[in-house]
Amino acid sequence: MKPRTKRAAWIAAGVAALGVAVALVMNAFQSNLVFFFTPSDVAEHKAPRDRTFRIGGLVEEGSVKRNSDALTVAFRVTDSVQTIPVTFTGILPDLFKEGKGVVAQGKLGSDGVFRASEVLAKHDENYMPPEAAEALERAGGRHLDKSSFAGQMETKGNRSAKP
Amino acid sequence: MIPELGHFALVIALALALAQTVLPLIGAATHRRTLMATARPIATGQFLFVALAFAALATSFVTSDFSVVNVATNSNTRLPTAYKFAATWGSHEGSMLLWTLMLASWTLAVAAFSRHLPDRLSARVIGVMGFVSAGFLLFMLLTSNPFARHVPALDEGRDLNPLLQDPGMVIHPPMLYMGYVGFSVAFSFAIAALLEGRLDAAWARWSRPWTTAAWSFLTIGIALGSWWAYYELGWGGWWFWDPVENASFMPWLAGTALIHSLAVTEKRGTFRSWTVLLAIAAFSLSLVGTFLVRSGVLTSVHAFATDPARGIFILIFLVIVIGGSLALFAWRAPRVGLGGGFAPVSRESLLLANNILLAVALAAVMLGTLYPLFLDALGAGKISVGPPYFEAVFAPLMAPAVFLMAIGPVASWKRAELPALWTRLKWAFGVAVAAAVILPFVFGRWSPWVALGLLLSIWVIGASVAQVRARIAGAAQPTLGAKIAAQPAHWWGMVVAHLGIAIFILGVTMVKGYETERDIRMVPGDKTTVGGFEFTFKGTKDVQGPNYIAVQGQFEVRREGSPDVVRIMQPEKRAYSAEGQTMTEAAIATRLLGDLYVSLGEPVSDGAWGVRVYHKPFVDWIWGGCFLMALGGFVALGDRRYRSRLAARNAAASGLAAKAA
């Protein structure tokens, strides 16, 4: 091969490899996006049935029920208009409390119960997870606003993953 | 009085930073030596005033001056003194001041160690750094004054976030910022080269040690952050692909590409434009990262809207720095030249592949981090991108990069022969394949990911050993010690850093492949077995800390089947008095071959607790690997040719000769 054709072949190979990489990235991206829905959205059947998504709002007062011999917790998440029952098995984050903001990630069962695989709560007592705040705002215009007080570490302190 | 002094010092520092930008750059453009000579004294003065401002803020924190808003919101009289001091950079305003102090320190270091450089180059480098510093000082003075007063003073402060009350917090941000800000030196060198329209091997040699130093600090900073998250957040994770982490990881990826690309530019004069672009990218990403984390945009895009002054200033500054340098690049890069050619199999081509893979990985991380923010900002809905995306993308991109990493240092520049490479590396390859096939069975379970991780890790270790053996055997010195000492420090640094990668991969592979995590409900007397150890819950007791009260769980740990207690583990659930926050403090038994990790969840019913009991095999190797990488960087800094003025002069001469040829 002439040097020029050779170089062209190398460049073509490089572009092809890059194309494959981009395709892989985009594919992984598409299949791992997690969308957010408010309890009202879920009540209006806007949320998907077979896909993981997030819901957010307040933990309804008096709704937390623990199973006495396992780590299963049932509670209700509300945006002050609609309420969604949630179950979670595992250890909840430190700031999970009745009347406080919460975000849960999981799937909606056919019985209408949201089965959370992960529960997130914010690590500043006054602070509302942004998604939860948005849910309340969308539902009833209750305006919550608080810019973050310490950025760096907080945002990742807020989850309780199920291993 | 002290806060006002600090505020005043910041104003003077801003004036000096502006002078530091304007005078040396005009001097360099018009060849006026007197103007260029002002760079060093002004940079020194700027450092003194920024340091004075920082000392003033630190004093306000240590003496609990609650008439300063920043102190009142982030400190408390009952806070231990070390944390009072660390709280100085616990807030947005304080961290900006720390950033500026770091920048002034790096500038001072450049001023002190650049006397052997051509006057115009050092004047321009210091001038560009002055510009960046002026931007940050102006930002602080206009929108984030750390010395703002609250009159009358509050009686008591709100306390530092309990998560930040930790030794890791004292050193993590300074290390991270040393890295972030350190890239400003590489950036300034790149801008100076573009202004000069000349970029040669000597330039690469001068900017290499600065880049390596910044990269090493950043590596330590990220590793400390990961370690802190592991022991402080109470659920045993060490990397979350959280936007806050990605913000520091993106400049690291760009910096890693940069130190490799610089090596090619220095040794072969190739990749010049690409190197300059990477230097711009590494620092730009540091800026983006700082602002992402510190502006509150991550917790809520709408925080921007509530404080438009801050957001708009940040955007304008980013546009000026990034846009300006990219425009300069587009205008000047053709002058910089491309350099010599190389064969498809050569060290250059391997390093090129490394750079492409790192760049694609960087783009993938950036997509996952910024796309949700854009959607949110446009009001197009809230989404999140979880760890599965990053893992799915990262492993396939980094596996080939690590595989090639073992070959790169053995391959010759310009043209390498595949048969010769095979001869040198066949043993390493054989051992790696054998280990990948057999070792997983020894550990208990074979899986393709574990096999791949072991293959890569042992392949890198084997290739490094082969390379060291060949170098030592080929040395002419009489004794082994002399042979070792005869090898250049930058080469040893590379070997150590690559071994660090291997150790890191080993740690990740073992944790991902063999960890046991158990969340269970326990009443006093309950036992559970994890990772070959039996844990007995003996109940809880109350303990009193300086600014918190805690419930402390008591766990006895025995080897499975043995009656002897090998360890008592005492995880805590703390309630901090000032803000009433609850915090989980995990108990961790650190062992070479794997950690035992116990943390208290919540009381479930009378006497029963939700408990996390984990076994994390080889988890400490992850951070060990990171520290080896950073150590490699520091070893490389010791290379004689970076220090000796003679060498620098020779390099300059040979660079000129290469240019003439």
Percent pLDDT > 90 in chain B is: 53
pLDDT at B78: 85
pLDDT at A25: 85
Interface with B, mutate which of A153, A155, A158, A160 (most B CBs under 10 A):
A153
Interface with B, mutate which of A31, A35, A94 (most B CBs under 10 A):
A94
Contact between chains at B517 and A163 (C-beta distance less than 8 A): yes
**CA dist., res. B103 & res. B101, Å (int):** 5
Of A18, A33, A130, the CB nearest to B299: A130
Angle formed by the axes of helices B308-318 and B272-294, nearest 10°: 170
Q: In this predicted model, what pLDDT tens digit does every residue of B52-111 receive, in sequence order?
A: 999 999 999 999 889 898 888 888 888 888 889 988 988 888 989 999 999 999 999 999
pLDDT at B513: 92
DSSP codes, B268-281: HS-SHHHHHHHHHH
CA angle B465, B466, B471 (to 5 degrees): 95
φ, ψ of residue B538 in degrees (nearest 5): -100, 5
From chain A, pick out residues whose CB is under 8 angstroms from the CB of B392.
28, 32
Of A28, A149, A151, the CB nearest to B298: A151
Q: Which two tokens stand for residue B120?
A: 């115009």
Per run of 10 residues, the mean pLDDT along chain A (length 163 residues) is 72 82 85 87 86 89 83 90 91 83 89 89 54 69 35 38 36
Percent helix, strand and coil across chain B, each to the nearest 5: 70, 10, 20
**CA dist., res. B631 & res. B318, Å (int):** 32
Contact between chains at B383 and A34 (C-beta distance less than 8 A): yes
- ipTM of the complex as predicted: 0.79
Q: Are strands A114-120 and A83-89 parallel, antiparallel or unpaired?
A: parallel
From chain B, pick out residues whose CB is under 8 angstroms from the CB of A163.
235-236, 517-519, 614
- Is the pLDDT at B270 greater than 70, yes or no? yes
pLDDT at B177: 92
From chain B, pick out residues whose CB is under 8 angstroms from the CB of A90.
519, 610
pLDDT at A157: 40
Q: In this predicted model, what pLDDT tens digit does every residue of B386-421 receive, in sequence order?
A: 888 998 888 889 999 999 999 999 888 888 888 889
Instruction: Say which DSSP state B544 is in.
Output: E
The answer to whether A34 and B371 are in contact (CB under 8 A) is no
Contact between chains at A91 and B610 (C-beta distance less than 8 A): yes
Integer angstrom CA distances of residue B386 from A30, B106, B390, B397: 11, 36, 7, 18
From chain A, pick out residues whose CB is under 8 angstroms from the CB of B363.
25
Where in chain A are the domains?
1-33, 35-161
Q: In this predicted model, what pLDDT tens digit does every residue of B540-593 receive, in sequence order?
A: 999 998 888 899 999 999 998 888 999 999 999 988 877 677 888 899 999 999
A13 close contact with B: CB closer than 8 A: no
Q: Which amino acid is at A140?
A: G
The answer to whether B157 and B76 are in contact (CB under 8 A) is yes
Contact between chains at A36 and B384 (C-beta distance less than 8 A): yes
Q: In this predicted model, what pLDDT tens digit does every residue of B496-514 receive, in sequence order?
A: 999 999 999 999 999 999 9
Of A28, A152, A154, the CB nearest to B173: A152
Number of A/B CB contacts below 8 angstroms equals 166
Contact between chains at A71 and B519 (C-beta distance less than 8 A): yes
Where in chain B are the domains?
1-165, 177-298+333-405, 417-511+628-661, 516-616
Torsion angle (degrees, nearest 10) of CA B344, B348, B354, B360: -70
A163 close contact with B: CB closer than 8 A: yes
Contact between chains at B307 and A147 (C-beta distance less than 8 A): yes
If you measure CA to CA, which chain A residue comes closest to B515? A163
Interface with A, mutate which of B74, B233, B356 (most A CBs under 10 A):
B233
Interface with A, mutate which of B382, B579, B619 (most A CBs under 10 A):
B382
DSSP codes, B199-235: --HHHHHHHHHHHHHHHHHHHHHHHHHHHHHHHHSSS
pLDDT at A18: 82
Contact between chains at B389 and A163 (C-beta distance less than 8 A): no
Interface with A, mutate which of B166, B235, B299, B611 (most A CBs under 10 A):
B299
Residues 6+ apart with CB under 8 A from B547: B76, B78, B79, B80, B159, B576, B577, B578
B364: closest CA of chain A, how far (Å): 7
**CA dist., res. B101 & res. A132, Å (int):** 37
Domain A35-161 has what CATH class? mainly beta
Contact between chains at B95 and A33 (C-beta distance less than 8 A): no
Contact between chains at A147 and B602 (C-beta distance less than 8 A): no
Residue with the larger pLDDT of the pair B376 and B247: B247
Of B164, B237, B367, the CB nearest to A29: B367
pLDDT at B659: 43
The answer to whether B634 and B216 are in contact (CB under 8 A) is yes
B266: closest CA of chain A, how far (Å): 24
A48 close contact with B: CB closer than 8 A: no
Residues 6+ apart with CB under 8 A from B649: B116
Contact between chains at A91 and B384 (C-beta distance less than 8 A): no
Residues 6+ apart with CB under 8 A from B538: B524, B525, B554, B555, B556
Q: In this predicted model, what pLDDT tens digit does every residue of B276-332 receive, in sequence order?
A: 999 999 999 999 888 787 766 665 555 555 566 777 788 888 899 999 999 999 888
* pLDDT-derived band at B223, boundaries 50, 70, 90: very high
pLDDT at A116: 93
Of B163, B234, B602, the CB nearest to A153: B163
DSSP codes, B443-458: HT---HHHHHHHHHHH
Q: What is the SS3 assignment for B615?
A: strand
Contact between chains at B605 and A25 (C-beta distance less than 8 A): no
- Is the pLDDT at B221 greater than 60, yes or no? yes
A107 close contact with B: CB closer than 8 A: no
The answer to whether B384 and B241 are in contact (CB under 8 A) is no
Residue with the larger pLDDT of the pair B35 and A142: B35
φ, ψ of residue B549 in degrees (nearest 5): -120, 150
From chain A, pick out residues whose CB is under 8 angstroms from the CB of B601.
71, 91-92
